[in-house]
A and B are shown apart, each in its own frame.
Chain A
């Protein structure tokens, strides 16, 4: 039972996401950080306050980490469809496997 819990924790920390999720993560990260950079400069420039610009920049970056790094469900909307194990779903198909010059016939 503890093993299963540990397995779940490991999966969470590992944080694997599917390919569509990875694409989304890349786009989101770039977009969010660019917006954070632009906003922090504009706010700082027009309010003439550099410590405010720094706070917005660091806060926005922390927010971006929170959105991108954990394996949220919306990153796993398109799981990969793996083919079933064995490969014997193809009718009448022979697969000749040759190892060390001896042909083994797959049934």
Chain B
């Protein structure tokens, strides 16, 4: 500490230590905030169509288009340390046991829809233009966190992705369910997903899985056969 340079080095060194410890305490403080997410989802319109992976592909595959309605309350997931909330909906169905090696406990899962919900502290990072950004900022009304952004109410939402199976066939699949998932992306700390068990103040998502439904046969041009 005998000259300016060594003082700069020492102060900066301790600053990085303090920053790390404060970051760790902030991440730990997340556990003091209870999480009580809930959601209800149901498929409203299911179709199976024939298509190609992309325009020039010669492969012809079946794709399932699953429209759904989603009502969710994920507001408790927004704390001062939440940067973004990633919400996604998957369609899952069990794979039939195959051949000699029985006990294949496989589940087919495919994401049909997702969205990113930013906290007001990270609005400037969202993938939106200046006009939308201004509107978004206004909607937060100057608050530092806006839990109301966690309340979702989608009616007959068109899916983002049409799903298929590696075999190329998904028509007439049984026991399909829609699952709602979330991923909390904090400013400091670990990434966390929806839980299977309760952990202290953090609860499992209430509901969040739809009733079982079936993927129909391929939609024909005449509406009589289509579902």
Contact = CB atoms under 8 A, between A and B. Distances in A.
Interface of A: 13-17, 22, 25-26, 29-30, 33-34, 36-37, 40-41, 44-45, 47-53, 57, 61, 64-65, 68-71
Nearest to B145: A48
Chain B contact residues: helix, strand, loop or mixed: helix
A33 B4 contact: no
Contacts of A50: 26, 80-81, 121, 144, 187
A15 B4 contact: yes
User: Which 4 A-B residue pairs are closest in the complex by CB-CB distance?
Assistant: A15-B4, A49-B144, A48-B80, A22-B1
B15 A61 contact: yes
Q: Which range contains the number of B residues in contact with the other chain?
A: 20 to 34
B1 to A, nearest CB: 4
Contacts of A15: 3-5, 7
A41 B19 contact: no
A45 B32 CA distance: 11
Chain A contact residues: helix, strand, loop or mixed: helix
A16 B26 CA distance: 38
30 contacts: A14-B4, A15-B3, A15-B4, A16-B2, A26-B10, A29-B7, A34-B18, A37-B18, A37-B19, A37-B22, A40-B22, A44-B26, A45-B29, A47-B144, A48-B145, A49-B80, A49-B144, A50-B26, A50-B121, A51-B144, A52-B144, A53-B22, A57-B19, A57-B22, A64-B15, A68-B7, A68-B11, A69-B7, A69-B8, A69-B11
B22 A14 contact: no
B14 A30 contact: yes
Interface of B: 1-5, 7-8, 10-11, 14-15, 18-19, 21-22, 25-26, 29, 79-81, 121, 144-145, 187
Contacts of A34: 18
Nearest to A35: B18
Contacts of A13: 4
A17 B3 CA distance: 7
A55 to B, nearest CB: 12
Nearest to B80: A48
A14 B4 CA distance: 6
Given A15-B3, A17-B2, A50-B144, 6 more contacts: A25-B1, A45-B26, A48-B144, A48-B145, A51-B121, A53-B26
Nearest to B8: A69
A50 B145 CA distance: 9
Contact of B11 (A52, A57, A65): A65
B122 to A, nearest CB: 9
Contacts of A71: 4
A48 B187 CA distance: 13
Nearest to B26: A41
Contacts of A17: 1-3
Contacts of B10: 26, 29
B10 to A, nearest CB: 6
Nearest to A41: B22
